[in-house]
Amino acid sequence: MSLQAGAGRRYLRAFVSAFCVAVPVTVTALDRLAYVARVEGASMQPCLNPEGARASDVVLLNRWTVRNYEVQRGDVVSIMSPMNPQQRIIKRVIALEGDFIRTLSYKNRYGRVPDGHFWIEGDHRGRSLDSNSFGPVSKGLLHGRASHIIWPPNRWQRIEASLPPNRGPLLNWSLDEEDS
C-alpha cells in the first residue's frame, strides 16, 4: 500500500507542478501572441460573416504583429470600442496617421488623421459603427490583427489586407485645396 500511495503522491505533485507552469505560459501566450474571437454582426460583410446570422466566422487575432501599434492600410483589426470600453470591435484600417481622408458621414467631410491614430471602417457601409461615427481611433485601443478565418472549416483562409473601392487616403490633397 505505501508504494502505491507514494507513487500517487508523486503523480499528484508532478501534475500540480506541470499545471502551475502550463497556466502562466498559456495566459502569456494568449496575451502576447494570438487568440481566437467570434465575429458577430454584419458590419464586415462580405469579408466576414457573409452568410449573416446563420454562420458567424471565428478569426485568429494576431497580437504579436501589432505589439508596436503598427498596422497597414487594409488590415482587419480588433480594437477596444471608443464608445464602449467593455466591447471589442473588428474593422478595416482605411487610413493611417497623417493621411487625409474623405469621410462618409463624420462631422467634417474631409480631415487629416492625427498622429497616434488611424481611421477604421466596416466593409458594409451603412451597417457599421466606425470612424465615420466616432472619428479617428487611438492606436492605444488596438488589440490585434485578424490574420485568418479558422471557423467554419469551409471558410478557412488568410485575411489579406485590402482597401474597398473608392476608400483610402486622398492623394495629392492639402488643406489649402479645400479652401479654394
Domain residue spans in the chain?
1-32, 33-172
Catalytic residue ranges: 43, 91
Asked if omega into 152 is within 30° of 0 (cis), the reply is yes
Q: Which three cell numbers stand for residue 86?
A: 467593455
Contact 146, 159 (CB under 8 A): yes
Q: Which three cell numbers stand for residue 178?
A: 479645400
69 phi, psi to nearest 5 deg: 60, 30
Domain 33-172, classified CATH 1.10.1060.10, yes or no: no
The C-alpha atoms of residue 15 and residue 3 are separated, in whole angstroms, by 18
State pTM to two decimals: 0.79
**pLDDT tens track for 74-131:** 999 999 999 998 999 999 999 999 999 999 888 888 989 999 999 999 999 878 899 9
